[in-house]
Structure 1
C-alpha cells in the first residue's frame, strides 16, 4: 500500500468510499456523497491524498477550511474515509499521518475533527496520531430526526505556527 496525491480521476472511487461512510450513519451529517463540484469546492486544493494497493483506492483523506477569515487560514478540518473492506488494516493511520505531513507543508498549524461519539474507531485513530479531545458539542445537529452529539478533537502542529511573536501588518 502507498499514499499518493489525489487526482480528479480518483473521485468516483473517493465518492464511493465516502458514501460507504455515510451509510454507516456515524461518519458525517452528510446524507449523500457530494458531487465532484461540491466536494472539490469544499476542500483545500492541497492536502488531498489517497491510499492505493494493487491499483485499488482503499481510502482517502483531505482538508477543508474552517473559515474564509484570514486569521483561520492555518486551521483545517480533517476528513478521513477508509473503504469498508479495508478497515482494520492500518489504512486510516497511514492516511492521517500523511495528511498531517501534507498539512504542515502547506502551513496548517491546527487540525480539527468533529466525530460522532459512536465512531470509536475514528476517535482512537485521531488519538493515536496526536489529536486530543477538546470537548463534546451536545446536540450539534439533527440527523434523520435525532439530535447528534459530536466529539471535537484537535492537533496542534509542533513545527508550524509555533512562534509566540505577534504578527505586525
Structure 2
C-alpha cells in the first residue's frame, strides 16, 4: 500500500472525525469524550501543520499541532495530536504521519513538539520514541475518563535539530 501524506483540508473533516471517534472509543487515546465540531477543532489547531495519510481517496489517519500557550515566548512549542484509523494501525501509517509532521513543524519554525500520552497507550508511546521523542516524566492520575477510571499521562518531547537552539 502506497501511503500519501498530504495537507489536511476541510473536505477531509468527515473522515478525520470518524478516525477521531475511533480513538475516543479506545479509552486510551484521549480524555476527549466526544468529537468536537469542525469549527471547534479548527480554532484549536495550528493551520500550517495539519496532515492526513491517504490511500487514494481513503483517509488512513491524521495529525495536527495545537499551541501550548498564548504567550509569544512559546510560539515555537506545540502539542501533537495523531490518530490512525483502526484498520490501519501497526502498518507504518503513524510513523509516516509523525515524521512528516516533524518536518512540517520545523519548516514552520517549531523547535519543540510535545505529547501527553495516556500511559496504557503503549503503541503511541513507542511510535513517538521511534520518531525521536523522549519521555520527560509521568503525571500521575491527572485525568479521569467518563467511566470513572483515572489515568497517568506520559509526557514526551522532541527538540528540533534544525530550528531553535541546537
Per the normalisation by structure 2, the TM-score is 0.96
Following TM superposition, the consecutive aligned residue runs of length 4 or more in structure 1 with deviations greater than 6 angstroms are none
Please give the secondary structure, in 2, of the residue aligned with 1:76.
strand
1:46 correspondence with 2:48: yes
Deviation at 1:55, TM superposition (A): 1.3
Q: Deviations over 1:83-124 (max 9, x none)?
A: 001111100000000000000011000000000111010000
Partner of 1:97: 99
Partner of 2:153: 150
Q: Hey, what's the Cα distance between the residues in 1 that align with 2:90 and 2:106?
A: 26
Query: Superposition RMSD on alpha carbons, in Å?
Result: 0.8
Q: Hey, what's the Cα distance between the residues in 2 that align with 1:147 and 1:88?
A: 26
Pairs aligned (count): 163
Please give the secondary structure, in 2, of the residue aligned with 1:46.
coil
Please give the secondary structure, in 2, of the residue aligned with 1:28.
coil
Deviation at 1:146, TM superposition (A): 2.2
Partner of 2:61: 59
Please give the secondary structure, in 1, of the residue aligned with 2:47.
coil
Q: Hey, what's the Cα distance between the residues in 2 that align with 1:12 and 1:23?
A: 17
Q: Hey, what's the Cα distance between the residues in 2 that align with 1:37 and 1:99?
A: 22
Per the normalisation by structure 1, the TM-score is 0.95
Please give the secondary structure, in 2, of the residue aligned with 1:68.
coil
